[in-house]
Structure 1
């Protein structure tokens, strides 16, 4: 290992924060009320939009491919969440807190703060930022959970008292995982998703003081038949009846 690698618990220089510029431009008037993202101070004008040199995709029956990115997007930072892509040595609660404060200062309005049902460290960190009132009024936290009743319940316990939170539910849908991991057919995997969606909705009713939003992802959807992935997502939507 290089001798230049800093292994200290606090490896980030204090000067980093002094160079940051938190986005402070006005919120576009046409943004929905749940999107408080402000315009970026980054020099995006120096880059050529992709649609000026790549032939745009045009699908007559759909509108989103013809839309051009012209203002700051609502980004969700997922750096804090432990999981398959996490660090070999996960961050300590103190470093998680520093990272959370850094993401807030950078202007993120949605921050995935943990996988509380999978890690005691993540659970404790979510509780810390809620009980110590560290979440700004215009920031929404997000937590990840598998589609299992006991894990969903644990997730809500971690989020108790949060002013706003997104519960991100997922389950595997790929052909390989259906056959090797779950040994279940399409109906069985769809049922895992819909049972999880019902649990997410049911447990949210125990905490009415929180403004809840739900998100669903079919894990490994790139290895899933396209229409089947759509069918599973539609089945979840039928339960949640999304308004946006």
Structure 2
């Protein structure tokens, strides 16, 4: 799916929320707004599963419900918009840690907010979206940020290294060696992000409701398992 289409879906979601459409629903019990966070190993299929999950949940949602929206790469643009930050800061918001010396120098000379400030602003945006509901939030330690919201389902996607390397090699048109280096580098970066900013272990299974091995389950099977978990959790309620 192209970046342009993803951004269009993002704006559709926000426009629905801000237009007051949610207040026009018929009398009766309020619609429970669920949300999902997805933590993933590189090559475990996070974006693909999230997009297919959004389509499935939208098809199951009652008429008049807000659109199910995936926030992944477009989350950064939403953070910048929410906090009135320049677009050039997008390069300083990876799921990794900026070098501490770079933080100190940039803060000293006023070049940009330090990484702790940017992470806090990212968490604020992620939490706001989770509270709105009908969102699938990929990455950014969502399981920790939204841990206390009972309507949010937390999912971790994993797969054997060889499977993930093969997927990244095919998807990104890399050599076998480059693909493995990419997988290991991105996994280490995400683990550092969690550890530095949240003092949490991204691999801790107790942080998630579901840990799914996409080396064993297909994309459709993973989606079905997540949907079933949402429908049977009393805290999550209806989609």
Higher helix share goes to which structure? Answer: 2
Asked which structure has the greater RCO (Cα within 8 Å, sep 6+), the reply is 2
Given the two structures, how large is their TM-score scaled by the length of structure 1? Answer: 0.32
Given the two structures, how large is their TM-score scaled by the length of structure 2? Answer: 0.32
Give the greater-gyration-radius structure (CA).
1
